[in-house]
């Protein structure tokens, strides 16, 4: 049998790229098989180099809330491109994007644009340490905040997929400054704070976890974190790289009504181009260079192409009807999965918040990393391939989210729900 184009490319790729990819989960090791290589994508569909087309629920891991190659984004980026790709000097677009972000996100009065979510989280942590004069951070098991040293401790996403939540190469001295608690376990945070609260600079959390699969906050969890931080003089940092502009125009903090001190954004605010951002109250943000002593800089920060894509995307989301549509679309996919589980008798727990969801192959509730890890990764792998064979592309790991976009039509959602019902039956 001759190799497909994806197979040949993967062979070549593995000679020159570690694992054949530029980001681990893409290598399909969590589900087995050969990753497809992408030729193009449009709307809800992604097409591989062998000409197979899939309804895409990966959405580039979250940014593509308008779908692939959204015409308005392509036009805006094209116009920006014709004016140059990068200047290393300020542009009007950055000011507009910053204005738009601070008017949308309740806790942000100022924002600094960077080039990735990793950079945003790393820089926000530095700011928190600089502002409080404290060194420790608290993070939650299974939450993922990019791959900066201090944050690769009990990390989700690729850390969960490959069983390396504590990466090699992170100095022990640094890892010791990251305390961890189970997600949704306020008691554990209370105990950490009681023991070392005076040394804690910041508590960082994904307000809705998306990197151990989707896990919503328990009632009172985010509010409790707010109170504990206030009591101990620590800052609260919401990593809204995934949830920002996805769970509503004001992100998870508007949805749950809890105001963090610092917020990280990424993904959607770059409309599919590389971007990140962190922000908070003026008094805190004015500690960043050139106003204050916390240093952070970047050649491509506020890149004009990313800013153009981001601005166009955020403007398209300014209508509340958009989020009502995303909610309905998410619910349709969830219902298809739940029906399929009932019909097939396969134990499945679907966690969904708005347009992000994960189907966990387990029968108990999934409320934290320990319960997420009880899911059968072997069943997920079979489900993933059964869906792919039916033309539906999901994340290649049990511990990631599926994202619905505004480009998914009712027909796409019904086709995906039908595929899920059939795929689940094949797992019996």
Q: Which residue is nearest to ligand HOZ (CB)?
A: 23
398 scored as a contact of ligand HOZ (CB under 6 A): no
Letter string b/e over residues 265-303, b meaning 16 or more CB atoms within 10 A of that residue's CB: bbbbbbbbbbbbbbbbeeebbeebeeeeebebebebbbb
Residue from 36, 57, 61, 383 in contact with ligand HOZ (CB under 6 A): 61
123 scored as a contact of ligand HOZ (CB under 6 A): no
Q: Which residues contact 246 (CB under 8 A, 6 or more apart)?
A: 62, 65, 267, 268, 326, 354, 355, 356, 403
CB 252 within 8 A of CB 240: yes
26 scored as a contact of ligand HOZ (CB under 6 A): yes
Tell me the window of 21-29, 303-311, 312-320, 352-360 that interacts with ligand HOZ (CB under 6 A).
21-29
Task: Rank residues 136 and 242 by Cβ distance to ligand HOZ and give the closer one.
Answer: 242
Considering the complex, what minimum distance in angstroms separates the CB of residue 109 from ligand HOZ?
28
211 scored as a contact of ligand HOZ (CB under 6 A): yes
Task: Rank residues 261 and 400 by Cβ distance to ligand HOZ and give the closer one.
Answer: 400
Measure the CA dihedral 150/358/244/259, to 10°. -70
From the list 154, 155, 117, 263, the residue with the least C-alpha distance to 202 is: 263
14 scored as a contact of ligand HOZ (CB under 6 A): no
- 239 assigned to active site: yes
Q: At what angle do helices 410-426 and 320-344 cross, to 10 degrees?
A: 20
23 scored as a contact of ligand HOZ (CB under 6 A): yes
399 scored as a contact of ligand HOZ (CB under 6 A): no
- 410 assigned to active site: no
Q: Which residues contact 90 (CB under 8 A, 6 or more apart)?
A: 302
Considering the complex, what minimum distance in angstroms separates the CB of residue 157 from ligand HOZ?
4
Task: Rank residues 56 and 400 by Cβ distance to ligand HOZ and give the closer one.
Answer: 400
Task: Rank residues 61 and 183 by Cβ distance to ligand HOZ and give the closer one.
Answer: 61
115 scored as a contact of ligand HOZ (CB under 6 A): no
From the list 355, 412, 341, the residue with the least C-alpha distance to 383 is: 341
Q: 364: buried, middle or exposed (CB in 10 Å: 19+, 13-18, 0-12)?
A: exposed
Going by the DSSP 8-state scheme, the letter that residue 168 receives in this structure is T
CB 80 within 8 A of CB 306: no
- 295 assigned to active site: no
Task: Rank residues 160 and 294 by Cβ distance to ligand HOZ and give the closer one.
Answer: 160
Looking at 144, 249, 256, 323, which residue is catalytic? Answer: 144
**3-state secondary structure labels for all residues of 68-134:** ECCHHHHHHHHHHHHCCCCCCCCCHHHHHHHHHHHHHCCCCCEEEEECCHHHHHHHHHHHHHHHHCC
- The site that binds ligand HOZ (CB under 6 A) totals a number of residues, namely 7
Considering the complex, what minimum distance in angstroms separates the CB of residue 118 from ligand HOZ?
9
Looking at 56, 185, 239, 368, which residue is catalytic? Answer: 239
**How many C-alpha atoms does 98 have within 13 Å on its Cβ side?**
19
Considering the complex, what minimum distance in angstroms separates the CB of residue 63 from ligand HOZ?
10
Neighbours of 85 (CB within 10 A): 10
400 scored as a contact of ligand HOZ (CB under 6 A): yes
CB 137 within 8 A of CB 148: no
Strand order in the sheet with 356-360: 349-353, 356-360, 402-403
Considering the complex, what minimum distance in angstroms separates the CB of residue 395 from ligand HOZ?
7
CB 36 within 8 A of CB 52: yes
240 scored as a contact of ligand HOZ (CB under 6 A): no
Task: Rank residues 13 and 25 by Cβ distance to ligand HOZ and give the closer one.
Answer: 25
Task: Rank residues 25 and 337 by Cβ distance to ligand HOZ and give the closer one.
Answer: 25
Considering the complex, what minimum distance in angstroms separates the CB of residue 362 from ligand HOZ?
20
Q: Which residues contact 378 (CB under 8 A, 6 or more apart)?
A: none
Considering the complex, what minimum distance in angstroms separates the CB of residue 267 from ligand HOZ?
10
State the Cα–Cα distance between residues 25 and 45, nearest whole angstrom: 20
157 scored as a contact of ligand HOZ (CB under 6 A): yes
Looking at 261, 267, 368, 369, which residue is catalytic? Answer: 267
Task: Rank residues 124 and 241 by Cβ distance to ligand HOZ and give the closer one.
Answer: 241
Considering the complex, what minimum distance in angstroms separates the CB of residue 130 from ligand HOZ?
26
From the list 333, 355, 368, the residue with the least C-alpha distance to 401 is: 355
Task: Rank residues 119 and 400 by Cβ distance to ligand HOZ and give the closer one.
Answer: 400
Considering the complex, what minimum distance in angstroms separates the CB of residue 191 from ligand HOZ?
29
| Residues belonging to the active site | 144, 239, 267
Binding stretches for ligand HOZ (CB under 6 A)? 23, 25-26, 61, 157, 211, 400
């Amino acid at each position: 049998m001759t190799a497909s184009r994806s197979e040949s490319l993967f062979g070549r790729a593995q000679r020159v790229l570690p694992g054949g990819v530029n980001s681990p989960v893409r290598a399909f090791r969590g589900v087995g098989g050969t990753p497809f290589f992408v030729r193009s994508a449009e709307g809800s569909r992604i097409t591989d180099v062998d000409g197979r087309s899939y309804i895409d629920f990966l959405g580039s891991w979250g940014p593509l809330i308008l779908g692939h190659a959204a015409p308005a984004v392509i036009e805006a980026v094209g116009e920006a491109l014709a004016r140059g790709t990068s200047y290393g000097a300020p542009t009007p677009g950055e000011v507009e994007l910053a204005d738009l972000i601070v008017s949308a996100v309740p806790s942000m009065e100022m924002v600094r644009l960077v080039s990735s979510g990793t950079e945003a989280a790393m820089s926000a942590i530095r700011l928190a340490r600089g502002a409080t004069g404290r060194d420790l951070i608290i993070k939650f098991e299974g939450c993922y905040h990019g791959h900066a040293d201090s944050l690769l401790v009990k990390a989700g996403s690729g850390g969960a997929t490959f069983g390396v939540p504590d990466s090699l190469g992170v100095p022990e001295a640094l890892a010791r400054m990251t305390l961890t608690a189970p997600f949704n376990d306020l008691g554990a945070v209370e105990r950490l704070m009681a023991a070392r609260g005076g040394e804690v600079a910041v508590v960082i959390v994904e307000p809705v976890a998306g990197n151990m699969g989707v896990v919503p906050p328990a009632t009172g969890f985010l509010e409790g974190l707010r109170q504990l931080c206030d009591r101990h003089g620590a800052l609260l940092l919401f990593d809204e790289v995934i949830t920002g502009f996805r769970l509503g125009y004001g992100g998870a903090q508007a949805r749950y009504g809890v105001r963090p001190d610092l917020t990280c954004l990424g993904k959607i605010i770059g409309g599919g181009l590389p971007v990140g951002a962190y922000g908070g109250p003026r008094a805190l943000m004015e500690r960043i260079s050139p106003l204050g002593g916390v240093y952070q800089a970047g050649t491509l920060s506020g890149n004009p192409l990313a800013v153009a894509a981001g601005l166009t995307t955020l403007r398209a989301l300014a209508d509340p009807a958009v989020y009502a549509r995303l909610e309905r679309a998410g619910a349709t996919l969830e219902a298809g999965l739940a029906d399929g589980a009932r019909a097939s008798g396969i134990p499945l727990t679907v966690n969904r918040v708005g347009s992000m969801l994960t189907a966990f192959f387990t029968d108990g509730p999934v409320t934290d990393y320990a319960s997420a890890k009880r899911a059968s990764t072997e069943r997920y792998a079979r489900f993933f391939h059964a869906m792919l064979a039916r033309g539906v592309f999901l994340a290649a790991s049990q511990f990631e989210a599926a994202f619905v976009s505004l480009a998914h039509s009712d027909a796409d959602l019904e086709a995906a729900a039908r595929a899920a019902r059939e795929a689940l039956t094949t797992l019996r």
